[in-house]
A and B are shown apart, each in its own frame.
Chain A
Amino acid sequence: NAGVTQTPKFQVLKTGQSMTLQCAQDMNHEYMSWYRQDPGMGLRLIHYSVGAGITDQGEVPNGYNVSRSTTEDFPLRLLSAAPSQTSVYFCASSKVGATPSTDTQYFGPGTRLTVL
């Protein structure tokens, strides 16, 4: 299994540009989520999905859109990039099961985004 993969690893955008961060997992996990990591602030949940066709907002959803057309993929779209969206973005997935040992989240390697 490749686990959770993210592309690209690095990206530089100009203010106002749009782009999509890709996330895919091959573990047949129902749950997928996007976090952003900023210095001294830990990880904050942007959007999440509990299955194909179902998405919901996390703590910091403004400026981001998501969709979940398949179990495997969960792209994150920045509609009009702003310097405040400069961050490291992590995608995570987990299986929603009956015991905690099966519910641990697996994280991708991250995408480092800079918005000028």
Chain B
Amino acid sequence: GEDVEQSLFLSVREGDSSVINCTYTDSSSTYLYWYKQEPGAGLQLLTYIFSNMDMKQDQRLTVLLNKKDKHLSLRIADTQTGDSAIYFCAVTRGSSNTGKLIFGQGTTLQVKP
């Protein structure tokens, strides 16, 4: 069935770049998202990318999509301690964007001062 995989943990030093990776199986997914979850809070949408794009940049965030390999990544430049959180990759089920998302397990980003 449809699946989204992420590594569970990433540790970086403050000021470094962080790269969080995600792979997915549904080649028909049209929209791909990155969500951030801070401790004790709900999920907050960080950014999204359409499946017909290779890259999207939004301030410190860069999303790269390799549709052939079904690989999505989120790069955070100049990582700050406030970026410490769990990051979820999510893709739509097929071409629908009516809210049916498949989530990865989440990557815990630890930023060391």
Residue numbers of A with Cβ under 8 A of B are 4, 31, 33, 35, 40-45, 48, 50, 58, 90, 92, 94, 96, 100, 103-110
Contact A42 B103, CB 8 Å, known A96-B98, A100-B48, A103-B97: yes
Contact A40 B8, CB 8 Å, known A90-B42, A100-B48, A109-B41: yes
Whether A42 pairs with B105 at a CB distance below 8 angstroms is yes
Cα distance A35–B37 in the bound complex, in angstroms: 14
From A35, A44, A58, A103, B98 is in contact (CB under 8 Å) with A103
How many chain B residues touch A (CB < 8 A): the figure is 26
Whether B45 pairs with A104 at a CB distance below 8 angstroms is yes
Residue numbers of B with Cβ under 8 A of A are 4, 6, 8, 30-31, 33, 35, 40-45, 48, 50, 88, 90, 97-101, 103-106
Residue of A41, A48, A105 ringed by the most chain B CB atoms within 10 A: A105
Cα distance A33–B43 in the bound complex, in angstroms: 13
Cα distance A38–B8 in the bound complex, in angstroms: 13
Cα distance A35–B40 in the bound complex, in angstroms: 16
Whether A48 pairs with B97 at a CB distance below 8 angstroms is no
Cα distance A77–B97 in the bound complex, in angstroms: 26
